[in-house]
């Protein structure tokens, strides 16, 4: 406790030196009262004087008979070194730091600051590199499509549409299923390896899923294609299609009724959520893309290629304008990379190239069922829809990916993702093109 008394007296003396008597110093034992006297040569402030007094006390701090006391361990060990984790009294700590600062004369030069790289420049460079990465696969896809259509015609196009529908359906349903599977794994971990809380318990779900796909294809374009190429009438095909949908209903209800489990309600919820995702994919992807087949059958292949090229131009120019001048986010919660400048710039660019592109494509005579005077009007109307409505199909796809923690729907197209990532805007365009041509082009 002697070191503690010394620290307290030192603090009191540094504040009110006139109140400290020699008798007070006598209680310190080995510490001489002369150590606290202020020499006449000290004409600086009280801080320096307090430092000198503290430095005189430090060599003896906490020693009683050669053994460090409890308080002494906070000041100095028996070996004269500061123990690990030691905390000096406030006055001693301050004066020691001041003394160390005054005795240190060597300085280390400050390191050179790192090179400054503007974030906008880095972002622009990465976007341009991504654009170059996307360009190669896009050129390959366009070339392969051109060769397929050139040598196979409409039949090759019908096969291509079926493959695109199948791939889009598989990707969109897999995103939801993978998300639910990961959620079930997390629930199992939280339950210490117990049974899944959301296990659907429907063993035939995969078979049902593809039965629904076949039923949707038959209801949209399959029945017409079969009736046109076989002896089966359209009425018979309608009856077959209705029978397929009835089987789907009976199958699902019987499966749910056969579940005998304490967690039946959770199984119902999980199964019906998957059913909803499958039927939404059938409606949004398969249903809308089936208008491609109707359009090519009634109006020719040129009215498929022209809107498709407009979508490609719009998507490309939105990316270019977004990289070069994009500053304000368009829909940051759904698609953070889309900008207002990119959206507007892409719309203007698409309308600018629409009329010349359509006139050029009609020069070959394929599908040239409209007068040249009206081609410009048709081109601008389709370009307006492609520019300001079709991109919202991409926004909906982005919301679906964000809701289920997926970056892309697939990865079979390098730099583009999956089929849904590439055709999300195309499928939104297909119904409008067919309905517009049926109402406007047929009348001419």
**pLDDT at 383 (0 to 100):** 97
- Are 401 and 408 within 8 A, CB to CB? yes
Compute φ and ψ for 330, nearest 5 degrees.
-85, -60
CA distance 109 to 277: 64
d(CA 419, CA 421): 5
**pLDDT mean over 186-197:** 55
Contact 256/268 with Cβ under 8 angstroms? yes
pLDDT at 182: 82
pLDDT band for position 183 (cuts 50, 70, 90): confident
Q: Model confidence over 203-232: pLDDT tens digits?
A: 789 999 999 999 999 999 899 889 888 999
pLDDT number for residue 149: 83
Residue 188 predicted with pLDDT over 70 = no
List, in order, residues 6 or more apart from 394 with CB less than 8 Å away.
315, 335, 424, 425
What per-residue confidence (pLDDT) applies to 380?
94
With bands split at pLDDT 50, 70 and 90, how would you rate the model's confidence at 326?
confident
pTM of the model: 0.67
Q: What pLDDT does 393 receive?
A: 94
Query: Nearest-5° angle of CA 62, CA 64, CA 70?
Result: 45
Query: Distance between CA atoms of 148 and 284, rounded to whole angstroms?
Result: 26
Residues 408, 421: Cα–Cα separation, whole Å: 7
Share of the chain above pLDDT 70, in %: 63
Unique residue bearing structure tokens 């009856």: 239
Q: Find the largest Cα–Cα distance for the chain.
A: 126
User: pLDDT tens-digit profile of 103-162?
Assistant: 444 455 555 554 444 444 445 566 666 666 667 677 777 788 888 888 888 888 989 999
With a cut of 60, say whether residue 55 has pLDDT above it.
no
Quote the mean pLDDT of the chain: 76
Question: pLDDT of 331-364, one tens digit each?
Answer: 988 888 899 999 999 999 999 999 999 999 987 4
- Better pLDDT: 379 or 48: 379
Neighbours of 344 (CB within 10 A): 16
Q: What is the reported pLDDT for 84?
A: 47
The pLDDT of residue 372 is: 62
Spatial distance between the Cα atoms of 72 and 88, rounded to a whole number of angstroms: 10
Q: 72 near 63, Cβ under 8 Å?
A: yes
Give me the pLDDT at residue 81, please. 47
Neighbour-count burial for 279-288, b at 16+ CB within 10 Å, e otherwise: eebbebbbbb
Task: Find tokens 């971990």 and name the residue.
Answer: 189
Q: Which whole-number Å values give the CA distances from 390 to 259, 315, 347, in the listed order?
A: 43, 10, 11
Q: Is it the case that residue 186 has pLDDT exceeding 80?
A: no
Looking up tokens 């394929």 gives 366
CA distance 257 to 250: 11
More confident residue, 149 or 1: 149
Instruction: Tokens for 413, please give them.
Output: 């197209």
- List the structure tokens of 281: 């994919």
Q: 310, 386 in Cβ contact below 8 A?
A: yes
| Helix, strand, coil content of the chain in percent (nearest 5) | 70, 5, 25
Cα 79 versus chain centre, distance:
59
The answer to whether residue 381 scores a pLDDT higher than 50 is yes
Q: At 249, which helix (H) or strand (E)?
A: helix 234-257
For residue 47, pLDDT over 90 is answered with: no
Residue 419 contacts residue 167 (beta carbons within 8 Å): yes
- 104-129: buried (b, 16+ CB within 10 Å) or exposed (e) per residue? eeeeeeeeeeeeeeeeeeeeeeebee
Structure tokens at 23: 């008798």
Q: Is the pLDDT of residue 74 over 50?
A: no
When pLDDT is averaged across residues 369-379 and rounded to a whole number, the result is 76
CA distance 251 to 244: 11
The answer to whether 401 and 392 have CB atoms below 8 angstroms apart is no
pLDDT digits (tens, 9 = 90+) for 85-103: 444 444 444 444 444 444 4
| Contacts by residues 65-72 (CB-CB < 8 Å, ≥ 24 positions apart) | 69/1, 69/2, 69/3, 71/1, 71/3, 71/4, 72/3
In this structure, of 184-193, 254-263, 276-285, 339-348, the range with the lowest mean pLDDT score is 184-193
């Amino acid at each position: 406790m002697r070191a503690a008394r010394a620290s307290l007296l030192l603090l009191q003396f540094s504040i009110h030196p006139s109140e400290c008597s020699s008798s007070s110093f006598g209680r310190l034992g080995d510490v001489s009262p002369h150590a606290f006297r202020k020499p006449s040569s000290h004409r600086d402030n009280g801080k320096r004087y307090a430092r000198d007094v503290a430095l005189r006390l430090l060599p003896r701090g906490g020693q009683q008979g050669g053994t460090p006391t409890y308080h002494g361990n906070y000041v100095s060990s028996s070996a004269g070194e500061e123990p690990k984790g030691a905390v000096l009294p406030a006055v001693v700590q301050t004066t020691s730091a001041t003394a160390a600062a005054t005795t240190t004369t060597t300085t280390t030069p400050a390191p050179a600051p790192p090179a400054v790289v503007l974030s906008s420049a880095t972002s622009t460079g990465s976007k341009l590199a991504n654009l170059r990465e996307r360009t190669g696969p896009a050129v390959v896809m366009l070339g392969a499509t051109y060769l397929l259509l050139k040598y196979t015609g409409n039949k090759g196009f019908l096969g291509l549409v079926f493959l695109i529908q199948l791939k889009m359906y598989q990707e969109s349903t897999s995103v939801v299923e993978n998300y639910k599977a990961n959620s079930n794994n997390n629930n199992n971990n939280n339950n210490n390896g117990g049974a899944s809380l959301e296990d659907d318990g429907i063993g035939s779900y995969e078979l049902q899923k593809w039965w629904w796909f076949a039923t949707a294809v038959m209801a949209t374009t399959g029945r017409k294609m079969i009736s046109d190429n076989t002896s089966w009438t359209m009425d018979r095909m309608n009856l077959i299609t209705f029978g397929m949908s009835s089987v789907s209903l009976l199958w699902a209800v019987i499966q749910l009724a056969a579940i005998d489990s304490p967690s039946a309600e959770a199984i119902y919820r999980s199964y019906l959520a998957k059913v909803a995702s499958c039927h939404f994919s059938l409606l949004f992807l398969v249903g809308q893309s089936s208008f491609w087949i109707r359009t090519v059958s009634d109006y020719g292949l040129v009215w498929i290629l022209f809107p498709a090229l407009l979508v490609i131009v719009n998507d490309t120019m939105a990316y270019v304008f977004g990289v070069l001048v994009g500053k304000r986010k368009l829909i940051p919660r759904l698609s953070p990379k889309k900008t207002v400048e990119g959206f507007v710039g892409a719309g203007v660019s698409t309308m600018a190239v629409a009329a010349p592109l359509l006139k050029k494509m009609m020069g070959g005579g394929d599908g040239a069922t409209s007068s040249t005077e009206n081609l410009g009007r048709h081109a601008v109307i389709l370009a307006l829809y492609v520019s300001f409505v079709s991109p919202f199909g991409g926004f909906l796809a982005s919301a679906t990916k964000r809701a289920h923690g997926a970056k892309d729907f697939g990865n079979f197209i390098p730099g583009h993702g999956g089929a849904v990532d590439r055709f999300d805007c195309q499928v939104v365009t297909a119904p409008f093109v067919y309905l517009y041509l049926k109402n406007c082009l047929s009348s001419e």
